[in-house]
Amino acid sequence: MPYSTLLIGTAGWERSDWVAGYYPDDLPEDWRLAYYANDCGCVLIDGADLARLQPGAFEEALDEAGDHLVVLLRLEDGVAGLDGRWVELFSRLGERLIVLAPPGISLGRRFNPWLRGGEGVWREPDGERCVVCWDIADFDLRQLKARVSDLPGDVAALVIEGRGATPARVEELKTLLTLMGRA
């Protein structure tokens, strides 16, 4: 993997309920992922969301974001949206791509998916590291402190999603993780 510290990010980078509160008003839409990458080390994309994205535009946005942003591709509903254009793009990402998939999805050797290891947890095939996704209804640092205490010691990436998740709060989460010796 191209990282040595805990990656922190959100599910998506342009949810309509927080776009206006996170991105500057004058920021062009196609620069959003690069702006996001200044605050976050990873971004989770659900396979179902691939239909609304254009592979070429996404590839350009990834190039602008820099080579430190890791893409987590969650394929809960199978690989229906993962057509040849996406396979080609994701193949080029190499270690900057982590595929999260339920058992039974075959992606061949090109993508070695991390498998579900519990609710909101995906384990690397060799079991060495994991990705954890937290559903956050409200961003409450006291509640998050308790969750940080329960994080597995081998967590490689932490993704926040849900109503209370926004990249605008990732810096606070990083600070909490640092204070608790987890980042």
93-116 tens-digit pLDDT: 888 999 998 877 766 666 788 998
Question: In sequence order, which ranges of 23-169 are alpha helices (DSSP H)?
Answer: 32-37, 55-65, 84-93, 141-149
> pLDDT grade, residue 51 (50/70/90)?
confident
Residue scoring higher pLDDT (108 or 170): 170
Q: Whole-angstrom Cα distance, residue 151 to residue 147? A: 6
> What's residue 9's pLDDT?
97
Please tell me the pTM assigned to this model.
0.92
Please say whether the beta carbons of 124 and 136 come within 8 A: no
Of all helices (H) and strands (E), which one includes residue 42?
strand 42-46
The CATH T-level fold of domain 7-179 is TIM Barrel (3.20.20)
